[in-house]
Amino acid sequence: MKITKKGIAGTLESSDVLVTVSPPVEPGVTIELESIVKKQFGNRIIAVVNEVLEGLGIKDVHVSLQDKGALDCTVRARLEAAAYRAAGISQLQWRR
Amino acid sequence: MDWGANVIVRSLSPRVPSEREQVDSFLARHGLSYEDDIDYSIGIFSGETMVATGSLSGKVVKGVVVDEGHRGEDLTAKVLTYLKIRAHNQGIDSLFIYTLPKNREHFTALGYAEIASTEEVLLLEDTSRNFSLFLSGLSRLNPDGLPAASLVMNCNPFTLGHRYLVERAAGENPLVLLVVVQEDRSVFPFSVRMKLIEEGTRDLENVRVIPGGDYIISNATFPSYFIKDKGKVFDTHTRLDLTIFGEHIAPAAGIRRRYVGQEPFCPVTRRYNQSMHEILPEYGLEVVEIERRESDNTAISASEVRRLIASGKTEETVKIVPSSTYSYLTSAEAEDIRRKLQGGSA
């Protein structure tokens, strides 16, 4: 999947995360995480992000997350939605 | 999106008097005033009663207030989310917010990153990436870490007075970073101002012309510079703008001196210059103030150029602008600008 523009999904409310996916300045993956539980779960959130990106075949991207304590499934869902929007895909291919 | 059943979110346009009035009176009840540069507001309602609001002026978030009876319901987050999505749909990359330093934790918990703060005000952006990219871009302009000088200029448009300042700096320093105010609030649009500066300094090999972006005298770092606000607000913003320069920009670019032209006319600029002398030395920066060059006993100024154009004497600017600026001013391309100036708005 190729990220061609900026895509956004989620909210800043409790237990949610606002994810922004944008084309990178340089090739590769960069992740910017702001989280109220960064100390406790920062590594876990970044692992989930990498896993989703890999699953979608995204190699060049900048992901920014403003997290308010979202569960893994929420991070996953918000990131997928933002990535699809950023790739300009409106027809969802549901996960196999 | 499903926000739960208790509240309704409505967008309120500043152009619809009844909607503007709703925001205005809610802000007034909370001791804030409605700012005229607001271009979008939202209100959160419980029944017909407004319980929270927030507004945007371009990329700056303004007037976020939650009613006392509804604090602790995460309404700030709701307001900021709506503003973020609205901004995103308008092609705005990131949002800035000014607040009191005591609110720092409240906004960092919402994913906002601090750009700079003074005793009175705190500026945050909802990403830390843009600022760090801006700073690393500056570092690349001075890879050898030469002791650089910097000028921050609007150049509306570029005159021989500006040229004189730049020449002085270029003669006294190994590298000069000429920062052009990017905000489009002047008669001459940013792209034209930038072009005239580049053409007018091309022969000076140690001068780099760079756009000021969001972090040097922009609507984000310095709103009241453009509103020409008086007094305390202006001083607060001045301090913030110069703090960003001293604390972040100068070290990133290896800047040791800031050059500035003496200001005989505009009180706002004079005040800003005075603050430079007070604040920048705190960061080890030297401020070099250069007296204005004169032509026929009148100081050369961009406002004089605009005045001449406005009174239909564009040819007379030849004495006070470089040839590159002159050929632009007299070109067909500048027709719109000439007409705008002659129409009376400067």
ipTM of predicted assembly, 2 dp: 0.76
Question: Which of the residues A5, A37, A66 would you substitute to probe the B interface, choosing the one with the greatest number of B C-beta atoms within 10 Å?
Answer: A66
Count of domains forming chain B: 2
In a domain, A96, yes or no: no
The torsion of the CA quartet B65, B69, B72, B76, rounded to 10 degrees, works out to -20
Rounded Cα gap, residues B110 and B66, in angstroms: 15
pTM over 0.90: no
* Angle value at C-alpha B139, between B242 and B142, nearest 5 degrees: 105
Residue B16: which CATH number? 3.40.630.30
Whole-number pLDDT of residue B2: 41
3-state secondary structure of B344: coil
Give the pLDDT confidence of B133-146 residue by residue, as tens digits.
999 999 999 999 99
What is the average per-residue pLDDT within B201-224? 87
Identity of residue B212? G
Task: Indicate whether B189 and B261 sit together in one domain.
Answer: yes
B155 near B193, Cβ under 8 Å?
A: yes
In a domain, A92, yes or no: no
Rounded Cα gap, residues B341 and B273, in angstroms: 27
Count of domains forming chain A: 1
First-to-last C-alpha distance (Å) of chain B? 46
Q: Which residues of B touch A37 (CB under 8 A)?
A: none
Q: How confident is the model at residue B227 (pLDDT cuts 50, 70, 90)?
A: low
Residue B182: which CATH number? 3.40.50.620
Question: Which of the residues A11, A12, A18, A38 would you substitute to probe the B interface, choosing the one with the greatest number of B C-beta atoms within 10 Å?
Answer: A12
Give the pLDDT confidence of B32-82 residue by residue, as tens digits.
888 888 999 999 999 889 999 999 999 999 889 999 998 888 899 999 999
In a domain, A55, yes or no: yes
Phi/psi region, residue A15 (left: phi>0; alpha: psi -120 to 50; beta: rest), is left
A8–B84: do the CB atoms touch at under 8 Å? yes
Q: How confident is the model at residue B1 (pLDDT cuts 50, 70, 90)?
A: very low
Say how many CA atoms lie within 13 Å of B181 toward its Cβ.
23
Q: How confident is the model at residue B230 (pLDDT cuts 50, 70, 90)?
A: low
Lowest mean pLDDT among B94-103, B108-117, B232-241: B232-241
Give the pLDDT confidence of A54-93 residue by residue, as tens digits.
999 999 999 999 999 999 999 999 999 999 999 998 887 6
Task: Indicate whether B60 and B155 sit together in one domain.
Answer: no
Q: Which strands sit side by side in the sheet containing A17-22, from one edge to the other? A: A7-10, A17-22, A61-67, A29-35
Instruction: Say which residue the tokens 């050059």 belong to.
Output: B259
B88–A36: do the CB atoms touch at under 8 Å? no
What is the average per-residue pLDDT within B149-155? 95
**B56 CA to centre of own chain:** 16
In a domain, A1, yes or no: no
Nearest beta carbon to residue B81 from set A6, A11, A65: A11
Task: Indicate whether B164 and B71 sit together in one domain.
Answer: no
Q: Which residues of B touch A68 (CB under 8 A)?
A: 77, 109-111
Whole-number pLDDT of residue B225: 59
Nearest beta carbon to residue B84 from set A18, A35, A62: A18
In a domain, B56, yes or no: yes
**Number of other residues whose CB lies within 10 A of the CB of residue B95:** 22
In a domain, B138, yes or no: no
B153 near B126, Cβ under 8 Å?
A: no
Q: Average pLDDT of chain B?
A: 90
What range defines the domain where residue A51 resides? Answer: 7-87
In a domain, A93, yes or no: no
**Quick check: A95 pLDDT over 70?**
no
* Angle value at C-alpha B276, between B272 and B280, nearest 5 degrees: 155
Q: Which residues of B touch A20 (CB under 8 A)?
A: 88, 127
Rounded Cα gap, residues B117 and B12, in angstroms: 31
A12–B111: do the CB atoms touch at under 8 Å? yes
Q: Which of B131, B102, B158 is nearest to B245 (CA)?
A: B131
